[in-house]
């Protein structure tokens, strides 16, 4: 039987030793693994920092929106208060312009009364009253109040109330021959109908 060469036996590594040596990482592989682990740790830190920054930005935006909402609510409340006050003033002083327009007519009536008490000239008193009436009608007209005086016009049941029908051969039938009380319109709406007497044709004798 041939003897094994001890030198050859010691010099040649076994298959198990070679496999074990192949499985263990080299120094370069270990360095790459460490670098990869470090890079992963840095990426996690960056992600955490980015999330923290996004959270802070979101919180700041929420605070900004809350402040804007409070400001808007306060502005709406101020507008509501101003509108309420304007409506109250409108109701309270709605007749201010109308009152100012009536004052000259009242002044004229007062002068007419004073004149009637201190003079016997009836014509002068009548002229003063007529002037005061004209001022009063002008004031009413400027504020949208117009007289309904349908004398001589065809009878209009929408604006006049017939108090009687009277035969009158000198007047067109169904026309107003007399105004007992004048009517008034407020901006085109009837406030009071005129009370009138309407003419009718005379009946023919048999």
pLDDT of residue 155: 96
Which whole number is the average pLDDT over 121-136? 86
Strand 183-186 and strand 145-148: the pairing is: antiparallel
* Spatial distance between the Cα atoms of 89 and 14, rounded to a whole number of angstroms: 111
**pLDDT band with cut points at 50, 70 and 90 for residue 32:** low
Residue whose pair of structure tokens reads 């901006």 in the numeric block: 187
Best CA proximity match to 188, nearest among 141, 118, 134? 141
- In this structure, of 32-36, 120-124, 137-141, the range with the lowest mean pLDDT score is 32-36
> Helices 96-118 and 122-142 meet at what angle, rounded to 10?
180
* Spatial distance between the Cα atoms of 120 and 122, rounded to a whole number of angstroms: 6
Contact between 199 and 168 (Cβ < 8 Å): yes
pLDDT in tens, 81-105: 999 988 888 877 777 888 888 888 8
pLDDT of 37 > 80? The answer is: no
**pLDDT band with cut points at 50, 70 and 90 for residue 106:** confident
**pLDDT band with cut points at 50, 70 and 90 for residue 172:** very high
pLDDT over 70, % of the chain:
79
């Amino acid at each position: 039987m041939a003897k094994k060469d001890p030198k050859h036996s010691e010099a040649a590594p076994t298959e198990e030793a070679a496999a074990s040596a192949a499985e263990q990482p080299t120094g370069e592989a270990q360095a790459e693994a460490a670098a990869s682990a470090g890079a992963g740790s840095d990426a996690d830190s960056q992600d955490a920092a980015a999330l923290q920054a996004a959270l802070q930005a979101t919180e700041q935006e929420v605070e900004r929106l809350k402040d804007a909402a409070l400001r808007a609510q306060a502005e709406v409340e101020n507008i509501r208060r101003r509108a309420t006050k304007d409506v109250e003033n409108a109701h309270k002083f709605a007749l201010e312009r109308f009152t100012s327009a009536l004052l000259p007519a009242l002044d004229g009536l007062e002068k007419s009364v004073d004149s009637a008490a201190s003079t016997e000239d009836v014509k002068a008193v009548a002229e003063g009253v007529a002037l005061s009436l004209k001022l009063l009608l002008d004031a009413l007209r400027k504020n949208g109040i117009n007289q309904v005086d349908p004398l001589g016009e065809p009878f209009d049941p929408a604006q006049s109330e017939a108090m009687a029908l009277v035969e009158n051969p000198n007047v067109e039938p169904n026309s107003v021959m007399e105004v007992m009380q004048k009517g008034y319109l407020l901006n085109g709406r009837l406030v009071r109908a005129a009370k009138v007497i309407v003419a009718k044709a005379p009946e023919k004798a048999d």
